[in-house]
Amino acid sequence: MKAFFSLIARDLKLAARQGSAVALSLCFFVIVIVLFPLGVGPEMTVLARIAPGVLWVAALLACLLTLDRIFQADYEDGSLDQLVIGPLPLSFLVLAKVIAHWLTSVLPLIIIAPVLALSLNLASDGVIAVTFALLIGSPTLSLIGAVGAALTMGMRRGGVLLSLLVLPLYIPVLIFGVAAVEAAVAMLPMAPHLLLLGGMSLGALVVGPLAAGAALRLALE
Amino acid sequence: MAIDLHKYANPRRFLAITSAIYPWSLALTVILLAAGLYTGLFVAPPDYQQGETVRIMFVHVPAAWMGLMIYTFMAVASAVGLIWKHPVADLSAKAAAPIGACFTFLSLVTGSLWGEPMWGTWWVWDARLTSMLILLFLYLGYIALWQSFDDPSKASKAAAILALVGVINVPIIKFSVDWWNTLHQPASVATMSGPKIYSSILTPLLIMGLAYTAFFVTLLIIRVRAEILARRLRILQLSELQER
């Protein structure tokens, strides 16, 4: 357990000292969302209509861009080999890495999402809903993403392949995440969608670390 | 059970068995395909609402079944390959992927050809169509992952992990009809209360399904044999290089 938490603390410390990475993914998130009003026009009703989808798609893409950070740097400087030899079981190692990734790369997106939602003229119920839906659904993104990141680790053109592997698996999260926000805007109960998102997160919590651990062992053979 | 599997996993025995099965599966494919197409295109009556376009269904529905079935097959073969480290299972999964991708693509194309006269549009963002499209992307990702490794044994394991993670998506596709139930018609063959289609339509549909399955088996045998031979050739070439 101590090794688990110290690994998370190490990754958080690393991310804090290279702060530019977090800022860059935030900038990407904001700029993707800014592109939509420019693309579809500034009409407020249209923007309010597409806001949930735009926020979720931008969050998906921003998360995708940061996935290679989970293992790549440690793989390149060799510390991943050391970690694998260490006392921590492989799936817990992955879980610690995923938690650190979620805290450093996804949580900042969720924190600024309400502001962007307001700028897209989303109703206030929707703003609360999108925050909750992102909080509950986004762990799935990191967990599934870790599998893709472990599979493509060390590849030369891993980034493009990673998006092809991971984005289809993200689609259920996108669908229910957007459905939750739209239900909240339409004054319908959003609990079922949030429960489904939570269920997917829990399922990914079981499958993700196991699969990513197997992929890591394979890549380091 | 495990012992039997080991026996059939021997590539040489696999080659011997499949070369015995191959002519039968080829003949079955030809006969069933001819019978299915004849009953589907000439015998089956036109639908009172859809008219002659209903015949597209005989090509479309079995292709969609095959798309799903082959992905499941791939996942099972991947699991067997991962657990018992059978090279033939890995190769079967690899060989099945492009066939499955083609069937999925066929179902999307024929579905869109059917949708134009029926729904008045080539494509709707309905749950089922979308999930078949996702299935196509899953296939493409799987094939791309195979191709991006130099070492075939590493590639097979990585692809197996991906197939097992992706297979979670197959039930989502299957039950998406009940979850979202939008424009696409709800499941009408495998419902709890038995098939809802009249037998004049159902029979050609099932014959076509069997024909596609036989076709898949035939193609799979050809492709797996080619993979085994290619691997042997590679080993021979490597040993020749070492001898020099």
In a domain, B58, yes or no: yes
Which residues of A have a CB under 8 Å from any CB of B? 144, 147, 151-152, 155, 157, 161, 164-165, 167-169, 171-172, 203, 207, 211, 214-215, 218-219, 221
A19 to chain B, minimum CA–CA distance in Å? Answer: 32
- For residues A211 and A148, give the distance between their C-alpha atoms in angstroms, rounded to a whole number: 9
Q: A105-136 in b/e burial notation, b at 16+ Cβ within 10 A?
A: bbebbbeebbebbeebbbbeebbbbbbbbbbb
Residues near B240 by beta carbon (within 8 Å), at least 6 away in sequence: none
Q: How far is CA B13 from CA A123, B10, B50, in A?
A: 66, 5, 50
Alpha helices in B10-151 (DSSP H): 11-38, 56-84, 87-119, 127-147
Alpha-carbon gap, residue A130 to B68, rounded angstroms = 33
Contacts of B144 in chain A (CB under 8 A): 161, 164-165
Task: Give the closest of A164, A203, A221 to B137, CB-based.
Answer: A164
Per the CB < 8 A criterion, the answer to whether A200 and A173 are in contact is yes
Q: For residue B186, what are the contacts with CB-CB under 8 A and spacing of at least 6?
A: B177, B178
Amino acid at position B96, single letter? A
More confident residue, B125 or A43: A43
User: What kind and span of H or E run contains B125?
Assistant: none
Rounded CA separation A148/A146 (Å): 5
> Could you tell me the sign of the dihedral formed by the alpha carbons of B10, B15, B19, B24, in that order?
positive
- For an interface test with A, the pick among B165, B169, B170, B176 (most A C-beta atoms closer than 10 Å) comes out as B165
Query: What's the confidence (pLDDT) of residue B4?
Result: 53
The answer to whether residue B173 scores a pLDDT higher than 60 is no
Q: List CB contacts of B139: < 8 A, sequence separation 6 or more.
A: B71, B97, B98, B100, B101, B104
Q: What are the structure tokens assigned to B68, written together?
A: 């799903």
Cβ-defined contact of A211 to B164 (cutoff 8 Å): yes
Contacts of B145 in chain A (CB under 8 A): 151, 161, 165
Q: Is the ipTM of this complex over 0.85?
A: no
Integer-rounded Cα Rg, in Å, for chain B is 20
Residue B8 within a domain = no
> Does some domain include residue B189?
no
Rounded to the nearest angstrom, the minimum Cα separation between B137 and chain A is: 7
Whether residue A211 and residue B165 make contact (CB cut-off 8 A), yes or no, is yes
Question: Do B169 and A221 make contact, defined as CB atoms within 8 angstroms?
Answer: no
Which chain B residue lies closest to A204 (C-alpha atoms)? B165
Structural domain including B34 reads: 23-183+196-243
From chain B, pick out residues whose CB is under 8 angstroms from the CB of A165.
141, 144-145, 162
Query: Domain for residue B228, yes or no?
Result: yes
Give residue B198's pLDDT. Answer: 66
Q: Which amino acid appears at position B63 of this protein?
A: A
Length of chain B equals 244
**Residues of chain B with C-beta less than 8 angstroms from the C-beta of A214:** 82, 157, 161
**Which of B130, B140, B165 lies at the smallest CB-CB distance from A164?**
B140
Taking all residues of chain B, what is their mean pLDDT, rounded to a whole number? 80
Give the pLDDT mean for A139-160: 86
Q: Give me the count of residues in chain A.
A: 221
Query: Which of B140, B158, B165 faces A218 most closely, judged by CB atoms?
Result: B158
Query: Is residue B218 in a domain?
Result: yes
Backbone angles phi, psi at A77, to 5 degrees: -90, 5
Give contacts of A211 with chain B, Cβ < 8 Å. Answer: 161, 164-165
> If you ran DSSP here, which 8-state letter would residue B187 be given?
P
d(CA B58, CA B52): 12
- Cβ-defined contact of B158 to A215 (cutoff 8 Å): yes
CA-to-CA distance for B208 and B202, rounded, in angstroms? Answer: 10
The listed range with the strongest mean pLDDT (A136-145, A175-184, B43-52, B182-191) is A136-145
DSSP conformational letter for B46: P
pLDDT of res. A32:
92
Contacts of B154 in chain A (CB under 8 A): 218-219, 221
In a domain, B130, yes or no: yes
- Model confidence at B177, in pLDDT bands (50, 70, 90)? very low
Q: Which of the listed ranges A19-33, A136-150, B150-164 does the model predict with the highest average pLDDT?
A: A136-150
% of chain A residues with pLDDT over 90: 29
Look at A182 and A141; give whichever has higher pLDDT.
A141
Contact B93, B163 (CB under 8 A): yes
Per the CB < 8 A criterion, the answer to whether A116 and A71 are in contact is no
What is the DSSP code string of A49-115?
HHHHHHHHHHHHHHHHHHGGGTTHHHHHTTHHHHHHHSSS-HHHHHHHHHHHHIIIIIHHHHHHHHH
Task: Please list the residues that pair with B47 across neighbouring strands.
Answer: B51
In terms of CA atoms, which chain B residue is nearest residue A196? Answer: B179
Tell me the range of A87-91, B14-18, B130-134, B195-199 where mean pLDDT is highest.
A87-91
Instruction: Give the model's confidence band at B195: pLDDT under 50 very low, under 70 low, under 90 confident, else very high.
Output: low
Tell me what the pLDDT averaged over chain A comes to. 87
3-class SS at B217?
A: helix
More confident residue, A159 or B71: B71
> Which chain B residues have a beta carbon less than 8 Å from that of A183?
none
Decide: B28 and B214 in contact? Cβ < 8 Å: yes
Q: Is residue A167's pLDDT more than 90?
A: no
Neighbours of B83 (CB within 10 A): 11
List CB contacts (< 8 A) between A144 and chain B. 165
Q: What is the DSSP letter of B68?
A: H
Stretch B49-57: mean pLDDT: 74
Q: List the single range of B104-113, B114-123, B173-182, B229-238 with lowest mean pLDDT.
A: B173-182
The sign of the CA dihedral B222, B225, B229, B234 is positive
Which residues, listed in sequence order, are joined to residue B51 by a DSSP beta bridge? B47
CA distance B179 to chain A (A): 11
**Interchain proximity B145–A151, CB inside 8 Å:** yes
Q: What is the pLDDT of residues A79-133, one digit of tens each?
A: 888 888 888 888 899 999 999 999 988 999 999 999 999 888 888 888 888 999 9
Confidence label for B184 from pLDDT (cuts 50, 70 and 90)? very low
CB A137 within 8 A of CB A177: yes
User: How many domains is chain B partitioned into structurally?
Assistant: 1
- In chain A, how many domains are there? 1
- 3-state secondary structure (DSSP) of residue A202: helix
Do residues A97 and A7 make contact, with C-beta atoms less than 8 angstroms apart? yes
pLDDT of residue A171: 81
CB contact under 8 A, A168 and B168: no
For residue A135, pLDDT beyond 90: yes
Q: Which domain holds residue A43?
A: 2-220
**Cβ-based contacts of B139 with chain A (< 8 Å):** none
What Å distances lie between residue A24 and A135, A141, A166, CA to CA?
21, 19, 21
